[in-house]
Amino acid sequence: MSVKWSLLLPLLLVSFSPLVSTGSVLVWPADHSHWINLKSIMDELTARGHQVTVLLPSFFQAANTHETFPFHLEVISVPFSKADMDSSLQDFIYFWSYEMHEMSSWKIFTKLYDLMSELLERNKIICDLIVLNEKLLKKLESAHFDILISDPLAPCGELVAVKLHLPFIYSFRFSSGNTMERLCGGIPSPPSYVPASMGGLTDQMAFLQRMGNMLFYLSQDVIFHQVIWKDWNKYYSEVLGRPTTLCETMGKAEMWLIRTYWDFEFPRPFLPNFEFVGGLHCKPAKPLPEEMEKFVQSSGEHGIVVFSLGSMIKNLTDEKSAMVALALSQLPQKVIWRYKGKRPETLGANTRVYDWIPQNDLLGHPKTKAFITHGGTNGVYEAIYHGIPMIGIPMFADQPDNIGHMKAKGMAVELNIHTMTAKDLVDAVNTVIHNATYKENAVRISQIHHDQPVKPLDRAVFWIEFVMRHKGAKHLRVAAHDLTWYQYHSLDVIAFLIVCVALFVFIVVKCCTFCCRKCGSIRKKSKKE
Ligand SMILES: *[C@@H]1O[C@H](CO)[C@@H](O)[C@H](O)[C@H]1NC(C)=O
Ligand SMILES: *[C@@H]1O[C@H](CO)[C@@H](O)[C@H](O)[C@H]1NC(C)=O
């Protein structure tokens, strides 16, 4: 081969390789902790040369900071402010964290329904501002996006995708009773060993627990189909101009990127278009700010405890925060507590309170012994990444479920915010630090997390680019989407077989009785003769 050709060959290979093409990505995000997760994906896509545009309602945190982003924000001006949304959300969280546990199930259901309806009503207003805005739709159309990435916490992402004829991908944690991924995504979830999320069970279930799990699945199916999705089904049908449902539209997702992995999940069946990318936002720890590092080093051999109830729980009651501070003051460790509420008077000399902490860097610090957490998915994954055992104080949403998983895996102790005493908290921290099994399990799970052929973020980005290159991933789509529920469970076949067997038995019985009667009458006749 001539020199000229050998120089040309790599160039040719590069230009034919599908890996180098870049595209444009449209994102329908969710706020707060969900945003952190999506942002990791968007940052990586931008770093690889893709154009990323985010449809951002004006009340989102990202629209209200001075932070600059490496991607384009298409801000949707909505008729309510960040303060309005924050206060609704705080009401919701306050109810879920503090009031719900004292109520009857029916009251909980009606109150949750009211609170959720309010949030969904606003969601619909935002959706209107996009799908009914011809000018915006034209603009989006002319941008020639290749894919839409959606967080289904708030509906509408899939509707925008269908309107713009774009393939779309979900970034998802779970829905109560796995309803969305099960009923809309088609992921098999046998109730005998796949515990429904929010049901509080593990994969080891006794008879009554299996029954409870199955009934929970069924109740969620009814609630979602008959209550939660009703209005949306009508809305989606109106916007698309043909009868459809929210669930059917969700089922068109090319891929579901689930924000967990087998370090966290119980083994379960899944489909080829489900990829488990938990912990994709996790990174090695960076050095701490100087003042904080000094404090951490002053802990000596006892080490430190990191304590955060997340960004949504801004304050505890005075009584509760005093109790917590008192408990923390009794620990030999130094404590770093993220807390925005009033500083309790019982705060010990070993405890420092901050409005914000570099949580990932702290969890990755060699002096960190334990993590007291509300159990949000992001924080739990940072603890898994760095192998730190946890004391879980779940408050709302997926938190009880997350802590349930970590408890079952032996790397967490769970406390109840409503009933715990100072002694419980001290005992829990001591258990997790001094009973070696918790640290051993944390390290083992961390090793499982790190021992993957391709890192979660790279897998997530691979599938996004795959769908962009191939304009979808229809070859991964199971035919279950085309079946009705009774066909899916083969109920029609079972019913047919039962009828066949019944008919057969009926004919046999009829023939026998007929023959017997015949024989009987012949015998009678011969006797007479
Ligand atoms: C937190 O503070 C707000 C405003 O001061 C108050 O309305 C709310 O009840 C407090 N939360 C708790 C748990 O005490
Ligand atoms: C440590 O914790 C494990 C799991 O809870 C428990 O089975 C074991 O008895 C504990 N060991 C000690 C020495 O307390």
Residue nearest to atom 12 of ligand 2 (CA): 435
Ligand 2 centre to CA of 391 (Å) is 15
**Is residue 225 domain-shared with residue 303, that is, in the same domain?**
no
Q: What is the pLDDT of residues 452-510, one digit of tens each?
A: 999 999 999 999 999 999 999 999 999 999 999 999 999 999 999 999 999 999 999 99
Residues 155 and 127 sit within 8 Å (Cβ to Cβ): yes
**Is residue 143 domain-shared with residue 44, that is, in the same domain?**
yes
DSSP category for residue 225: I
Residue 357 lies in a domain: yes
Residue 491 lies in a domain: no
Instruction: State how far the Cα of 312 lies from the Cα of 86, in Å rounded to an integer.
Output: 10
Instruction: State how far the Cα of 259 lies from the Cα of 282, in Å rounded to an integer.
Output: 12
For residue 6, what pLDDT is reported? 52
Count of the separate structural domains present in the chain: 2
Q: Which amino acid is at 201?
A: L
Residues 6+ apart with CB under 8 A from 434: none
**Is residue 297 domain-shared with residue 380, that is, in the same domain?**
yes
Q: How many CB atoms lie within 10 A of CB 80?
A: 14
Ligand 2 centre to CA of 88 (Å) is 43
Note the Cα 252 to chain centre separation in Å.
19
Residue 308, CB-side half-sphere exposure with 13 Å CA sphere: 22
Token pair in block for residue 17: 């390789």
Average pLDDT for 416-432: 96
Q: How many CB atoms lie within 10 A of CB 103?
A: 14
With the most atoms of ligand 2 within 8 angstroms of its CB, the residue from 409, 435, 441 to mutate is: 435
Q: Which residues line ligand 2 (CB under 6 A)?
A: 435, 437
Would you list the DSSP string of 331-381? -SSEEEEE--SPPPTT--TTEEEESS--HHHHHTSTTEEEEEE---HHHHH
Helix (H) or strand (E) holding 275: strand 274-276
For residue 4, what pLDDT is reported? 53
Q: Which atom of ligand 1 is nearest to the CA of 316?
A: 13
Instruction: State how far the Cα of 250 lies from the Cα of 158, in Å rounded to an integer.
Output: 6
Instruction: State how far the Cα of 153 lies from the Cα of 119, in Å rounded to an integer.
Output: 11
Please name the residue that has the structure tokens 């949580």. 359
**Is residue 223 domain-shared with residue 307, that is, in the same domain?**
no
Q: Which residues line ligand 1 (CB under 6 A)?
A: 98, 315-317
Q: Which amino acid is at 329?
A: S
Residue 9: is its pLDDT beyond 60?
no
Residues 278 and 381 sit within 8 Å (Cβ to Cβ): yes
Token pair in block for residue 61: 């945190």
**Is residue 122 domain-shared with residue 268, that is, in the same domain?**
yes
**What residues are paired with 57 via a beta bridge?**
76
Residue 501 lies in a domain: no
**CATH no. for residue 59?**
3.40.50.2000
Single pTM value for the model: 0.91
Ligand 2 centre to CA of 435 (Å) is 6
Could you tell me the pLDDT band of residue 17, with boundaries at 50, 70 and 90?
very low
Residue nearest to atom 10 of ligand 1 (CA): 315
With the most atoms of ligand 1 within 8 angstroms of its CB, the residue from 315, 318, 320, 374 to mutate is: 315
**Is residue 321 domain-shared with residue 433, that is, in the same domain?**
yes
Could you tell me the pLDDT band of residue 89, with boundaries at 50, 70 and 90?
confident
Average pLDDT for 198-216: 94
Q: Exposed, middle or buried by CB within 10 Å (0-12, 13-18, 19+), for 347?
A: buried
**Is residue 420 domain-shared with residue 462, that is, in the same domain?**
no
**Is residue 31 domain-shared with residue 144, that is, in the same domain?**
yes
**Is residue 204 domain-shared with residue 55, that is, in the same domain?**
yes
Residue nearest to atom 4 of ligand 1 (CA): 315
Instruction: State how far the Cα of 514 lies from the Cα of 238, in Å rounded to an integer.
Output: 62
Instruction: State how far the Cα of 191 lies from the Cα of 218, in Å rounded to an integer.
Output: 10
**What residues are paired with 256 via a beta bridge?**
170, 274
Could you tell me the pLDDT band of residue 19, with boundaries at 50, 70 and 90?
low
Flag the least confident range among 94-98, 243-247, 405-409, 427-431: 94-98
Q: How many CB atoms lie within 10 A of CB 422?
A: 17
Residue 505 lies in a domain: no
Instruction: State how far the Cα of 341 lies from the Cα of 317, in Å rounded to an integer.
Output: 9
Helix (H) or strand (E) holding 25: strand 24-28
Residue 14 lies in a domain: no
Residues 6+ apart with CB under 8 A from 490: none
Residue 4 lies in a domain: no
For residue 412, what pLDDT is reported? 98
Ligand 1 centre to CA of 315 (Å) is 6
Q: What is the pLDDT of residues 118-177, one digit of tens each?
A: 888 889 999 999 999 999 999 999 999 999 999 999 899 999 999 999 999 999 998 888
Full domain range(s) for residue 155: 22-281+454-474
The number of the ligand nearest the C-alpha atom of 339 reads: 1
**Is residue 68 domain-shared with residue 190, that is, in the same domain?**
yes
**Is residue 171 domain-shared with residue 309, that is, in the same domain?**
no
Region of 222 on the Ramachandran plot (φ > 0 left; ψ -120 to 50 alpha; else beta): alpha
Q: Is 133 helix (H, G, I), strand (E, B) or coil?
A: coil
Residues 306 and 367 sit within 8 Å (Cβ to Cβ): no
DSSP category for residue 412: E
Ligand 1 centre to CA of 314 (Å) is 8
Residue nearest to atom 13 of ligand 2 (CA): 435
Residue 225 lies in a domain: yes
Q: What is the pLDDT of residues 384-398, one digit of tens each?
A: 999 999 999 998 888
Instruction: State how far the Cα of 395 lies from the Cα of 313, in Å rounded to an integer.
Output: 9
Instruction: State how far the Cα of 278 lies from the Cα of 261, in Å rounded to an integer.
Output: 5
Angle of helix 436-450 versus helix 422-434 axis, rounded to 10: 60
User: What is each CA distance from 80 to 32, 60, 112, 325, 429, in whole angstroms?
Assistant: 17, 11, 21, 37, 43
Residue 228 lies in a domain: yes
The number of the ligand nearest the C-alpha atom of 407 reads: 2
Ranges of beta strands (E only) in 348-476 are 351-354, 368-373, 390-392, 412-414
**Is residue 242 domain-shared with residue 339, that is, in the same domain?**
no
